[in-house]
Amino acid sequence: GNSVTQMEGPVTLSEEAFLTINCTYTATGYPSLFWYVQYPGEGLQLLLKATKADDKGSNKGFEATYRKETTSFHLEKGSVQVSDSAVYFCALSPRNSGNTPLVFGKGTRLSVIA
């Protein structure tokens, strides 16, 4: 089956620290991969995506590279800000799967302190 595993939080960092949130997946074929962010009290916002192996998604200083050999899509940011405090979800969308839905990890809560 399809599944996503994320590192457990919460993650607490000081402002300007380096961020890594690990994400690995299990899927049939070659899925599209996503990172969504959820700010307090809000819905999900698409942060970045990658649709094939070795693609790098990037947005707002965040990056993630689709690694087929390690089935991973780790999220990184070089210097976090207090405003990055949120819950981050890794998700996959299986290819050639017809109606199979987005599969999410459980989320990783990030707190950035000044």
Partner 1 sequence: ETGVTQSPTHLIKTRGQQVTLRCSSQSGHNTVSWYQQALGQGPQFIFQYYREEENGRGNFPPRFSGLQFPNYSSELNVNALELDDSALYLCASSLEGTLKETQYFGPGTRLLVL
User: Quick one: which of 14, 46, 56, 113 contacts partner 1 (CB under 8 A)?
Assistant: 46
User: What does the DSSP assignment read for 69-100?
Assistant: TTTB--EEESS--GGG-EEEEEEEE-TT-TT-
Smallest separation, CB 43 to partner 1 (Å): 4
62 binds partner 1 (CB under 8 A): no
42 binds partner 1 (CB under 8 A): yes
Q: Which bin fits 51, alpha (ψ -120 to 50), beta or left (φ > 0)?
A: alpha
Binding site for partner 1 (CB under 8 A): 4, 32, 34, 36, 42-46, 49, 89, 91, 93-95, 97-107
